[in-house]
Structure 1
Amino acid sequence: MQLFNFVDQLFLVTGAAQGIGAAIVKSLVQAGAQVVGLDIQADKLDDLRVALEPQEFSAYQLDVSCSQEVEMSIEQIEHNLGPIAGLVNVAGILRSKPVVALTDADWEQTFAVNATGVFNMSRSVAQHMIPRRSGAIITVSSNAANVPRQRMAAYAASKAASTQFTRCLGLELASFGIRCNIVSPGSTDTPMQQLLWTDATTQESVLIGSLKTFRTGIPLGKIATPKDIANGVLFLLSEQACHITMHDLRIDGGATLGH
């Protein structure tokens, strides 16, 4: 039995070329949705398009940090494909360094994608949703937005910004029937996460925790899959979540102990 039905609905997913974004695209397509995947990585985005043929998927190369590109793309999508029912902000980058080693460029690029990108996409899409008085916006943040992590200050701060922005957006758009929610993954088996795994011991320490780095482990004893995150996103996009807004759904196997 199909759990979610998104037939005849159009959804946008940023960061669609790999990892969590690609998993969300595939899950939405399987649920009958028409999906537009947006990513700066044109080659990987094209690979996804080929893999999904002949299903309802379109690929747009886009730098979410550029407001002009975003505005132009959203206008084109609305004109050519129809009304956008939902947006999922997934695009993100990680610069894993101690604070004293972060460069100006590291900080600026992290915020440009992880925070400003969410603002650019959400603002543009919301402008089209408001007259229709319907829609859903999901921001994929991180449990690091709520719990300090070593070597992740820029990433965590940018995710905290996008989390609180999405809550504020949800408050402003609630009177128009538009719901805005956050999904906050913990350690997930994606290319970004794998950059942090220098050897098997590193991955094991994620599961059992590390007193040296003041990090708890994962009570459920496993790393999330991108599909695990996609399942939460689809729920929040669906009619089953029609009375949920400004919520932060933590999908981290209990790693932040419900904080």
Structure 2
Amino acid sequence: MSDTVPGRPRLAGRVALVTGAGQGIGAAVARSLYALGVSVAATDVHGAAVAELAERLAQQAPASGPAAAVRAYPLDVTDGRAVEETVDRIERDLGPLGILVNVAGILRTAPAAELTDEDWSRTFAVNTTGVFHTARAVAPRMAARGTGSIVTVASNAAGIPRTGMSAYAASKAAAVMFTKCLGLEYARHGVRCNVVAPGSTDTPMQRSLWTDADAPRRVLDGDLATYRTGIPLARIADPQDIADAVVFLASDQARHITMQDLYVDGGATLR
């Protein structure tokens, strides 16, 4: 019988690596895990951003469980060697990693035939190869200990065509399938691998797409010219909405869930 408290994920005492933790969804995930007593290694290519996050969180006592730690690590997930070295350092500093959350991502928009080689390669380097690098470094360590949870934050664009977003959508779709294949390979070792697929979420990335004051309304209502549906729940997600889904999948409340793709998009993809 599980000793998980209904309504409260049991995570206290574990160690998590969160990429892309400098802002938006990644920062929300780091805050949520820390509040539940998880020691968090917050990483981002922007070292100053995660340093500031770590400083803020360190001033707060976790809401439950034993005292947790939070540390910032500058990290470019496209650099495989740097990822391996950072994972080594995290485990020396904080202890064995039990949770990996892949949030780091970039968006380059343009019609498919107008994307540059650099747009394409850089998008895949961060959004797909970055997930490969972190998983390759962490999954074998988890498997050796017989437990672990990996959650990749992808996008609902991975499951539905979007105009002007072919590189982003393709890179996220690749990350989704990589994560599911990883989950199949490591299931017998007690490592669960799942995906959270957000829709439009109020982050700096989302706001970079808003070119005028009516842009949020078009997101809610949909845009026939770009073949895009609106959001049935009539709200743009808050980063915390996505973080809550990540925390659930990382926790023992989801102990029998692996290789799944959870869409958190207010019904926008009509799935």
Same fold (TM over 0.5): yes
Instruction: Name 2:50's counterpart in structure 1.
Output: 45
- From 80, 95, 117, the counterpart of 1:82: 95
Q: Distance in 2 between matches of 1:82 and 1:44?
A: 23
Q: Distance in 2 between matches of 1:210 and 1:103?
A: 26
Instruction: Name 2:171's counterpart in structure 1.
Output: 158
Q: Percent identity at matched positions?
A: 55
Query: Which one is further off, 49-58 or 5-14?
Result: 49-58
Instruction: Name 1:57's counterpart in structure 2.
Output: 70
TM-score by length of 2: 0.93
Instruction: Name 2:35's counterpart in structure 1.
Output: 30
Instruction: Name 1:180's counterpart in structure 2.
Output: 193
Task: Please tell me the root mean square deviation across aligned C-alpha atoms, in Å.
Answer: 1.1
Say if 2:10 and 2:252, in contact at 8 Å, map to a contact too. Answer: no
- From 250, 253, 259, the counterpart of 2:263: 250
Q: Distance in 2 between matches of 1:82 and 1:244?
A: 25
Q: Which amino acid in the other structure matches residue 21 of structure 1?
A: G
- From 140, 162, 169, the counterpart of 2:182: 169
Structure 2 unpaired stretches of 5+: 61-68
- From 116, 127, 131, the counterpart of 1:114: 127
> Quick check: 1:207 aligned with 2:232?
no
Q: Could you report, residue by residue, the CA deviation over 1:166-187 in whole angstroms, capped at 9, with x for unpaired residues?
A: 0000000000011000000000
Instruction: Name 1:69's counterpart in structure 2.
Output: 82
Q: Distance in 1 between matches of 2:240 and 2:13?
A: 22
Query: Which one is further off, 202-211 or 177-186?
Result: 202-211
Structure 1 unpaired stretches of 5+: none
Query: Which one is further off, 65-74 or 75-84?
Result: 75-84
Q: SS of 1:245's equivalent?
A: coil
Q: CA deviation at 1:51?
A: 1.2
Q: Distance in 1 between matches of 2:268 and 2:213?
A: 19
> Quick check: 1:225 aligned with 2:238?
yes
Paired residues in the alignment total 258
Q: CA deviation at 1:159?
A: 0.1
Q: Could you report, residue by residue, the CA deviation over 1:23-52 in whole angstroms, capped at 9, with x for unpaired residues?
A: 000000111110000100012112112211
Q: Which amino acid in the other structure matches residue 189 of structure 1?
A: D
Q: SS of 1:196's equivalent?
A: coil
TM-score by length of 1: 0.97
Instruction: Name 2:111's counterpart in structure 1.
Output: 98
- From 7, 13, 32, the counterpart of 2:12: 7
